Amino acid sequence: MNKYKFHVSGTHCASCKILIEDILNEQDLIINAQVNLKSETVEVETDSDVSPQELTEILTSKIKPNGYSLSLEKVTQEKKGDDVIWKAIPLGLVFLVLFFLLQKSGFLNFGIGGKTTPITSFIIGLIASVSSCLAIVGGLILSLSAKVSQDNIDDKKNLVLFHVGRIVSFAILGGLLGMLGSAIGISFTLGAILGLIAATVMLLLGLNLMGIFAKSKITLPSGIFKFFRKIEHKTLTPLLIGFGTFFLPCGFTQSMQIAALSSGSFLTGALIMFAFALGTFPVLALLSFGSASLAHSKFAPLFFKVAGVVVVGLGIFSLLGGLAGIGIIRPLFNI
Amino acid sequence: MNKTTLVIITLGLIIGIGIIFWGGLKGPQNGTADTPVENSEIRDGVQYITITAGGGYSPEFSIAKAGIPTKLIVKTKGIYDCSASLVIRSVGFQKILPQTGSTEIDIGIPNKDTPLQGVCGMGMYNFLINFV
């Protein structure tokens, strides 16, 4: 029997230990695997005669889909991490300043009169995609796509599924609103609760992207990240999140839902919501596919941290707004 | 750039965000907490307060009389943003306002020094009416 010690990278949470051990112990040639999070090593016992090099390759191929890898040599962590975060914070803040200035400018608040047609709802979608709704929908998309890329999941596929899920469910739900004429999508409380959940997810993922959790190895949110890791592999997840964005609190979405509701027919309602979702697509696509491609570029370390700062900022904004919206705290700002 | 410069830039940006959120960039027609606007009129013994919704609420701070039957009129003109989804918790009102039109909300007989707060569904816009 042979015993080897490998260095493992990608362990960012306490649950990673369990996940890696589970996967490795499933392999036929492994008798026992033990992960040591502190030293970022894994000790394996095996009775096969494959060379350590081969073994690293075999085992890495098994845990790679979950974002981990093994090596014989310790991969030297970029010690520049500290500098990166100090560049990332001001950069992220610049994006936040620009975003809030745009909101404050009133530039987006021109009135669109008349009857809501698919064309006006497309234009409203375009406006909505850079409005304060971007804080919640865009922030969620940015954090999820950056996280998915960071975890080395098949990000392009997931993002495509998300957008398909979003546009298709907007059309179907819009059609249902038009046909039934009753307010399935317009519960304030449901919207507010979903908004608060989204804000919390953004805060956690944002801090994680910034490397706050990874650095100090805080074990508290391990359960959440384990859950997240588990569900981000499912094909259904991005479709469902796309579907869920229909119910996220956003004045523009809600106005469009009312328009679909009063249209009185499945086809008109579906067209209005479809056109609206299509209008929001360019900006959201830029956010999601843009972050995926940046995540695979040489700017990846900086990008993840900048995205983290932006997402945390938008998360705080949405959280405070959401709490004020359901009356838990007094409104803190008018923007 | 060295770290000190970056920290200074960071602090500057945080102050910038503070100014965007809480800075006094509002026009006088919106009112402030210290100088609220009077936007009410009394017709046939009923007080009508008018607020315009669209990219926020205007005026943000207003003042009206306590102790008489009061109705709030919220005017909208081709709006689709958050201010269309209005919540006034104290009178149990929550509704998506019509894109264009005017909505009358009965707020009963307001008590002195019990302000009425309206907030939009996502909580980023609000208005406050004080009764004296």
pLDDT, tens digit (0-9, with 9 covering 90-100), for B3-55: 888 888 889 988 888 888 877 555 545 666 667 777 888 989 999 999 999 88
Segment B109-132, tens digit of pLDDT:
999 888 999 998 888 889 999 998
Top pLDDT among A189 and A305 is at A305
For position A93, what pLDDT does the model report?
Answer: 93
Does B62 contact A at CB distance below 8 Å?
no
Top pLDDT among A53 and A305 is at A305
Bridge partners (DSSP) of residue A139 are: none
Instruction: Name which of B98, B57, B74, B79 is nearest A112 in CA terms.
Output: B79
In the predicted structure, residue B56 carries a pLDDT above the cut 70? yes
Residues of A in contact with B89 (CB under 8 A): 327
Nearest-CA distance A207 → chain B (Å): 17
Please tell me which residue of chain A has the smallest CA distance to B125: A334
Residue A116 main-chain phi, psi, to 5 deg: -80, 115
Mutation for testing the A interface, residue in B32, B122, B125, B127 having most A CBs under 10 Å: B122
Residues of A in contact with B124 (CB under 8 A): 103, 132, 317, 321, 333-335
For position B90, what pLDDT does the model report?
Answer: 87
The pLDDT confidence band at residue A309, using thresholds 50, 70 and 90, is: very high
The pLDDT confidence band at residue A168, using thresholds 50, 70 and 90, is: very high
Amino acid letter, A61 = S
For position B40, what pLDDT does the model report?
Answer: 86
Q: Which residue has the tokens 């039957």?
A: B69
Residue A148 main-chain phi, psi, to 5 deg: -60, -40
A251 closest CB neighbour out of B20, B22, B84: B84
* Average pLDDT score over residue span A20-40: 84
Mutation for testing the A interface, residue in B30, B60, B81, B86 having most A CBs under 10 Å: B81
Instruction: Name which of A312, A296, A321, A330 is nearest A149 in CA terms.
Output: A296
Residues of B in contact with A132 (CB under 8 A): 81-82, 122, 124
Top pLDDT among B41 and A230 is at B41
For position A78, what pLDDT does the model report?
Answer: 47
* Average pLDDT score over residue span A110-136: 83
Please tell me which residue of chain A has the smallest CA distance to B14: A93
For position A268, what pLDDT does the model report?
Answer: 92
User: Helix/strand/coil (H, E, C) string of chain B?
Assistant: CCHHHHHHHHHHHHHHHHHHHHCCCCCHHHCCCCCCEECEEEECCEEEEEEEECCCEECCEEEECCCCCEEEEEEECCCCCHHHEEEEHHHCEEEECCCCEEEEEECCCCCCCCCEEEEECCCCCEEEEEEC
For position A84, what pLDDT does the model report?
Answer: 84
- Verify whether the Cβ–Cβ distance A112 to B7 is below 8 Å: no
Does B100 contact A at CB distance below 8 Å?
yes
Give, in degrees to the nearest 5, the angle at Cα A145 between A141 and A147.
120
Residues of A in contact with B57 (CB under 8 A): 334
Does A98 contact B at CB distance below 8 Å?
no
The pLDDT confidence band at residue A217, using thresholds 50, 70 and 90, is: very low
Segment B57-99, tens digit of pLDDT:
988 889 999 999 999 999 998 888 888 889 898 888 888 888 8
Percentage with pLDDT > 70 across chain A: 87
A324 closest CB neighbour out of B25, B77, B119: B119
Nearest-CA distance A86 → chain B (Å): 6
For position A282, what pLDDT does the model report?
Answer: 95
Segment A322-333, tens digit of pLDDT:
888 888 888 878
Please give the Cα distance from A292 to A142 (Å, whole number).
Answer: 9
The ipTM, to two decimals, is 0.82
* Average pLDDT score over residue span A170-175: 94
Cβ-based neighbours of B18, under 8 Å, separated by 6 or more: none
Nearest-CA distance B45 → chain A (Å): 31
Does A304 contact B at CB distance below 8 Å?
no
Residue A275 main-chain phi, psi, to 5 deg: -65, -40
Does A95 contact B at CB distance below 8 Å?
no
Segment A62-115, tens digit of pLDDT:
888 777 888 887 655 444 556 788 888 999 999 999 988 888 877 776 666 667
Does A258 contact B at CB distance below 8 Å?
yes
Q: What is the mean pLDDT of chain A?
A: 83
The pLDDT confidence band at residue A12, using thresholds 50, 70 and 90, is: low
Residues of A in contact with B4 (CB under 8 A): none
Does B11 contact A at CB distance below 8 Å?
no
For position B104, what pLDDT does the model report?
Answer: 94
For position A114, what pLDDT does the model report?
Answer: 67
Percentage with pLDDT > 90 across chain A: 20
* Average pLDDT score over residue span A55-61: 84
Top pLDDT among B2 and A33 is at A33
In which order are the strands placed within the sheet that holds B126-131? B37-38, B61-64, B126-131, B116-120, B85-88, B93-96
Instruction: Name which of A310, A173, A172 is nearest A247 in CA terms.
Output: A173
Of A58-62, A229-233, B86-90, which gets the smallest average pLDDT?
A229-233
Top pLDDT among A226 and B39 is at B39
Please tell me which residue of chain B has the smallest CA distance to A102: B20
